[in-house]
């Protein structure tokens, strides 16, 4: 079993839709939960991070962590074609190593 599982998609939605991206994990020691966005032929860039459980909102993006279920989500409201990218979840125990999910490819159609 992988430490971090993420559905690779692709996920295709119309412009303006609410997008839900999810990851599950098996290591209960993870404390830091991150979402990276990766455009084609670019390196990943950090979108948001959350420490422990709870929600965090930044503009159209909301990150949720449910440690009891070992499940994290990223919601994108009013999705735009410019949101089309691969979204990677990533997790860290507070130590040296960050573990990345496989990434979900998102297409937002105009």
User: Considering the complex, what minimum distance in angstroms separates the CB of residue 15 from other proteins?
Assistant: 26
Q: How far apart are CA 80 and CA 68, in angstroms?
A: 32
Nearer CB in complex with other proteins: 63/101:
101
Minimum separation from the CB atom of position 66 to other proteins (A): 19
Distance CA 12, CA 67 (A): 28
CA distances from 27 to 12, 37, 71 (A): 30, 23, 11
Give whichever of 45 and 66 is closer to other proteins, judged by the CB atom. Answer: 45
Interacting residues with other proteins (CB under 8 A): 4, 6, 8, 32, 34, 41-46, 49, 51, 88, 90, 92, 94-98, 100-103
């Amino acid at each position: 079993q992988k430490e971090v599982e993420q559905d690779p998609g692709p996920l295709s939605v119309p412009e303006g839709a609410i997008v839900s991206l999810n990851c599950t994990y098996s290591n209960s020691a993870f404390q830091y939960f991150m979402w990276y966005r990766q455009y084609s032929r670019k390196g990943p860039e950090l979108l948001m991070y959350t420490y422990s459980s709870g929600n965090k909102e930044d503009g159209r993006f909301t990150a949720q962590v449910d440690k009891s279920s070992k499940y994290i989500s990223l919601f994108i409201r009013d999705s735009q074609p410019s949101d089309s990218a691969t979204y990677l979840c990533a997790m860290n125990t507070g130590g040296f190593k960050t573990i990345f999910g496989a990434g979900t490819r998102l297409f937002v159609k105009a």
